[in-house]
Amino acid sequence: MAVVEPEHEAHDDHHDHGEFIAHHFESAEQQFDSGKLGIWLFLVTEVLFFSGLFVAYTLYRVLHPEIFDQAHVFLDKYLGFANTLVLLFSSLTMAVAVRYAQLGKNQHVVWYVLGTMVCASAFLGVKAIEYTHKWDQGIMVRSYFDYHAGHHEASMPLARALGVSDYLIWISIVPVLLLVGFALFAVFAKLTEKANAAFFSACMAIAIGGYFIGALAGHFYMELTDGGIGGRSEKAAALMAYEDETHSDHEHTDKPADHHDESAAEQQKETSEIAPYEGPQNDEFDQDIGIFFSIYYCMTGLHAIHIIAGIGFLAWILWRSILGHWRSDYFGPCDYVGLYWHLVDLIWIYLFPLLYLID
């Protein structure tokens, strides 16, 4: 081992150090490798973080298959499927963005990252429709579960004017504020001639606009199909649950006969003639379905939080792309965020069949 004489002090840190090589790394490769290993480890922790929920899911599904059978029909599989496509597409745009970052084509990265963000927001928009639709009907976690089918008149004037749920108005406040804020800031930055900031804010406004695209699409789907056709129509499902209970002497394990939409609709017609329907909200059985929704809300809620965080990371990548930071020897952050994004998609790929496609 050669002895480095003290004269050659290692203080000249900035030898061949690129602009973005932190002082404690020897080389661009070392920095990239560290980041890559770091992000992979982080993804491992993410998987383990979700693992608790998957274990809980498995356990309750094994112990109470009937709950899962009865409950999943409240989820609309077409909405779920649409969201799956949106996320898959966003993974594609992200992968392309990373490729362009590797090539140092920053302008392309901007567009593809923006596309990814629009998809992410659209996903949340659809999710918002799904959630609020359920809340309207009292489909909540176990202790608040109080299902009541039928149409729900909103109480807020605005909600009534738009023909949407009160809850939707509430949860849309944040995206509205963000959208307006970014749009205004874009104009302001344009006027003060901060070109990059103006462009970034405009992109952010578009990205958040994705939420409204998703929500609108979801909303019209619900309107057109009168509450969605992807699940069995809720009323029928609830009736079936109710019937199952009264006719099978509290045998919860009884599987509902079949799940086709027509037969459900038929049944709906039939039953609505037979007896005045009181709704199952007061009996034990109905409430147990709530455990499914506890798990559903925990899983999809945690996933949604990850999507939101992902939008934050993507915004950072967007900003740096606008500044033109990526070069063929420096594109790590874009790569790492891309990996994170793929993981978030992957988790959804598991959640979708586990929750929506139970039969």
Report CA dihedral (13, 19, 22, 23) to the nearest 10 degrees.
Answer: 10
142 binding other proteins? (CB under 8 A): yes
144 binding other proteins? (CB under 8 A): yes
- Shortest Cβ distance from residue 223 to other proteins (Å)? 30
- Shortest Cβ distance from residue 131 to other proteins (Å)? 15
Backbone CA torsion sign across 246, 279, 232, 135: negative
- Shortest Cβ distance from residue 18 to other proteins (Å)? 17
37 binding other proteins? (CB under 8 A): yes
- Shortest Cβ distance from residue 142 to other proteins (Å)? 3
- Which is closer to other proteins, CB of 25 or CB of 111? 25
Query: 137: closest CA among 233, 270, 203, 4?
Result: 233
Residue type, 109: V
70 binding other proteins? (CB under 8 A): no
**CA diameter of the chain:** 98
- Shortest Cβ distance from residue 25 to other proteins (Å)? 8
161 binding other proteins? (CB under 8 A): no
235-238-241 Cα angle (round to 5) = 150
- Which is closer to other proteins, CB of 31 or CB of 84? 31
59 binding other proteins? (CB under 8 A): yes
Strands (E), 164-253: none
Residue type, 350: Y
11 binding other proteins? (CB under 8 A): yes
27 binding other proteins? (CB under 8 A): no
C-beta of residue 321 within 8 angstroms of C-beta of residue 313 = no
44 binding other proteins? (CB under 8 A): yes
Strands (E), 10-161: none
14, 15, 24, 269: which one binds other proteins (CB under 8 A): 24
